[in-house]
Amino acid sequence: MKIAPKKVEMPRQKPEVRVTNFDEVALGYSEKEAQQEARRCLQCKKAPCTRACPVEVDIAGFIARIIEKDYPGAIRKIKEKNLLPAMCGRVCPQEELCEKACTLSKKYEPIAIGRLERFAADWELRRGNPGTSHLSLSTGKCVAVIGSGPASLSCAGDLARLGHKVTIFEALHRPGGVLVYGIPEFRLPKAIVEKEVEYIRSLGVEVKTGYVIGKIYAIDELFSQGYQAIFLGIGAGLPKFMDIPGENLNGVYSANEFLTRTNLMKAYLFPEYDTPIKIGRRVAVIGGGNVAMDASRTALRLGARQVYNIYRRSRQEMPARVEEVQNAQDEGVQFKFLTDPTRIIGNREGWVTGIECIRMELGEPDESGRRRPIPVKGSEFTIGVDIVVMAIGAGANPLLSSATPDLKLNEWGYIVVDETSGKTSKEGVWAGGDIVSGAATVISAMASGRNSAMAIHQYLMQGSRSIDFS
């Protein structure tokens, strides 16, 4: 059989239409499209894709079931390893992982694994009745999971399937962590997050929102309440600023604030929703990662006429996914590469009026392997803007760690753990996701949550027979 060299295209909203709404951009495969794409799979015995997947989904296995139109079987296969497939199908960087390893990619475009995963997950969600997966007998052990982002949800789900009683404590009023406050609706609809959290709940996990651990309870108080192990999946929730003049002017947002107002608080629906956001005519978003792309595209949808993405290196060095950069460009984001802000300019009333930048050139590669940007002397220039969004990364939020003095941190405030198990310096406490690694991907956070779940399970069941799950 001749193999089609290219992936089956996924229908998407047209750029000129989608910038006027917050609806999902990528619309997902129809059954016919999924069938057509699935049949491109070579079903390699060695399954390099599975080995490249941080949570080791049996990719050929689920694709084979799609081909057989056994969709319940396909989603069951995925959920053996990945409890949040509708999210991962949407936001996982497949091009860096499974699809990069795909045998087809040597000659053609790889199999669209992410799109097929999404198809199977959405098929199940549309039926409104996610099958419950196999649960072990109750062990009578209690685990507290702090935070409810991808690391925590994956850890909680696995522990619940192993028969432990799990309680998630989430600081915000809605579960999902970065999936609800950070990633925009148009990339990951909140209804999808809700359904996947609902699935984790259906496994027996209790979710308590509005509980700021470190404030209402210290870690040691959770132990004295009867929790026998604790997982910290609290994310890297500390916004970074550049430390340049003018950053506290009105109209300067951290990406966290800009996105939280829009996504979690639904400021784009103000005044129907209470939380407002300032919508500039001209917006500068600083940074070259996925969050910067999210913020730029959000600014367009909020009604900005001009959105400038300012990045100190060139397009090749951008940490954002190629697909997201392309999306932003198609929607009209204007890129200012090799440009670095030096100060933010304001008027007498304290509002932003512009941003002064300096041109950069690329020198020798630095520790990250990317060419180091060097300022070009005397090349300062000003761009007139009303809003500036700082999307230059996040740091470790110290709220919980400062209330837990016996938790060992590294010099940047991230939690120090044993690499394979996620075990921290504190007895009975594990950690995973961005609070360990610094800002990374949803799937790597999920993998670390799973590793900790296995380690916690062993710790809790010492002396008793361990139960194999899947």
Per-residue DSSP letter, 456: H
Residues 148-177 that bind other proteins (CB under 8 A): 171-173
Using the minimum distance from each CB to other proteins, give the nearer residue, 82 or 262: 262
- The SS3 of residue 34 is helix
272 binds other proteins (CB under 8 A): yes
x/- track of binding to other proteins for residues 319-358 (CB under 8 A)? ------------------------------xx--------
Minimum CB separation of residue 379 from other proteins in Å reads: 28
286 binds other proteins (CB under 8 A): no
How would you label 331-346 residue by residue, b for 16+ Cβ within 10 Å and e otherwise? bbbebbbbbbbbbbbb
CA angle 277, 283, 286 (to 5 degrees): 105
274 binds other proteins (CB under 8 A): yes
CA distance 349 to 360: 31
Residues 6 or more apart from 394 whose CB is under 8 A from it?
Answer: 236, 237, 238, 239, 240, 256, 291, 434, 439
x/- track of binding to other proteins for residues 392-411 (CB under 8 A)? -----xxx------------
Strand partners, 306: 282
Using the minimum distance from each CB to other proteins, give the nearer residue, 3 or 216: 216
321, amino acid identity: R
95 binds other proteins (CB under 8 A): no
Strand partners, 362: 373
Using the minimum distance from each CB to other proteins, give the nearer residue, 265 or 460: 265
x/- track of binding to other proteins for residues 195-234 (CB under 8 A)? --------------xxxx--xxx-----------------
How would you label 164-194 residue by residue, b for 16+ Cβ within 10 Å and e otherwise? bbbbbbbbbebbbbbbbbbbbbbbbbbebbe
CA angle 222, 224, 226 (to 5 degrees): 80
268 binds other proteins (CB under 8 A): no
CA distance 224 to 212: 17
Minimum CB separation of residue 146 from other proteins in Å reads: 12
Interface with other proteins: number of residues (CB under 8 A): 40
364 binds other proteins (CB under 8 A): no
Residues 6 or more apart from 64 whose CB is under 8 A from it?
Answer: 41, 43
Q: Where are the alpha helices (DSSP H) in 53-181?
A: 59-67, 71-79, 85-91, 98-101, 113-126, 150-161, 178-181
Using the minimum distance from each CB to other proteins, give the nearer residue, 272 or 468: 272
Q: Which residue in 130, 136, 270, 413 binds other proteins (CB under 8 A)?
A: 270
Minimum CB separation of residue 182 from other proteins in Å reads: 10
The residue range among 36-44, 148-156, 270-278, 313-321 that interacts with other proteins, by the rule CB under 8 A, is 270-278
Task: Note the residues at the interface with other proteins (CB under 8 A).
Answer: 171-173, 181, 209-212, 215-217, 237-239, 241, 247-248, 250-251, 254, 256-257, 260-261, 265-266, 269-276, 278, 349-350, 397-399
